[in-house]
Amino acid sequence: MVNNKQRYREFCESKNDIPIFSQHWWLDIVCENGYWDVALFEVGGKIVASMPYYLKKRWPFEIITMPRLTHTLGPYIRYPSKQKSFKRLSFEKSVYRNLISQIPKNDYFQQNFTTTVKNILPFFWSGYNSTITYTYIVNATSSEELENMLDPDIKRRRKKALAKGVVVSESCDVEQFYELNRETYTRHNKKIPYSLELVKRLYNACSERASVKLLIANYNDRFVAGGFFVFDSNKVYYLMGGVDTECKGIGGMDLILLEAISFAIKTGRKFDFEGTMVESIESYFRGFATIQTPMFQVRKIQSFALRLRDFVKND
């Protein structure tokens, strides 16, 4: 008997608008310390909605959460054509309640939903809570439009970097990028939360599907910044980045991001910075002609012990 995961794999292969983070092959790679499965909703024997989830055991708790390097998950729906607004909401209610009913028993649930999910009331009615977070998206459709909207500081740093001879090029040197990425974490007194092996597996899988750009900024034969970008049919995502501590002021990362945004515009995609709630980073992202876009983080704590810990933590 064909299970939900196998049917979902076939469903992903038949649709070109499922976000990259919800693709079956992506989940195969990033769900290292647990397993993934998927809830499916059908109409007339055809899948019209899905909701993959990642479940891991953190003794003694069953946890559904976000895998590493995965920006969003949440429900995906193929809506009937020309559906009126009131029917759309009714349809969503039916779909979401069905998907929710298939989520396995767990002690803690948390997912970051895509920006396309606007209605989470059925989750609220089922006992889930939500928090608004923000991502920053470039919607410009031409280089001229982007140029007109860029922060003058970004333009100044770009001019300075080009005058110094900083050059951005595409690379396949994942190890060199990873060292730049790790250095950025070290600079903030943090341990990098994913392994080189995981990044390599993602890069290779995305390369096979023409869904990745690894950009490196070179200055005087030295790698000074790197950016790891993945993309699907709708968006280019800024997945990871790193800067040489000694060359922070050269503007290498500014050039890398502008190159990635230019690629998104040329290929008819939006560019997604993947969000932040950190004030200094928000200010930087905003300078690239972005639109602040809300998204839902949906959570439910069913274990009394975890609810108590959460209460104490936030008291």
pLDDT tens digits along 77-128? 999 988 898 899 999 999 999 999 999 999 999 999 999 999 999 999 999 9
Q: Which amino acid, one-letter code, is at 127?
A: G
11 and 113 housed in the same domain: yes
Structure confidence at residue 139 (pLDDT): 94
- Is 133 within 8 Å of 278 (Cβ atoms)? no
64 and 192 housed in the same domain: no
Query: Which two three-digit tokens encode residue 105?
Result: 């028993």
CA 89 to chain centre: 26
Mean pLDDT across the stretch 187-200?
A: 95
90 and 195 housed in the same domain: no
**Total domains, the chain:** 2
Structure confidence at residue 315 (pLDDT): 38
Using CA atoms, how far apart are residues 302 and 174, in angstroms rounded to an integer?
40
Using CA atoms, how far apart are residues 153 and 172, in angstroms rounded to an integer?
30
Structure confidence at residue 308 (pLDDT): 56
149 and 259 housed in the same domain: yes
- Environment class of residue 54 by beta-carbon count within 10 Å: exposed (0-12), middle (13-18) or buried (19+)? buried
Question: How wide is the angle at C-alpha 113 spanned by C-alphas 62 and 227, nearest 5°?
Answer: 100
Structure confidence at residue 310 (pLDDT): 64
202 and 270 housed in the same domain: yes
Residue 219 reports pLDDT greater than 60: yes
- Is 228 within 8 Å of 20 (Cβ atoms)? no
Structure confidence at residue 1 (pLDDT): 60
How many Cα atoms occupy the beta-carbon half-sphere of 60 within 13 Å?
3
DSSP annotation of 81: T
Range of the domain at 267: 141-288
Nearest by Cα to 46 from 80, 91, 86: 80
Residue 311 reports pLDDT greater than 60: no
Characterize the bridge pairing of strands 212-218 and 35-43. unpaired
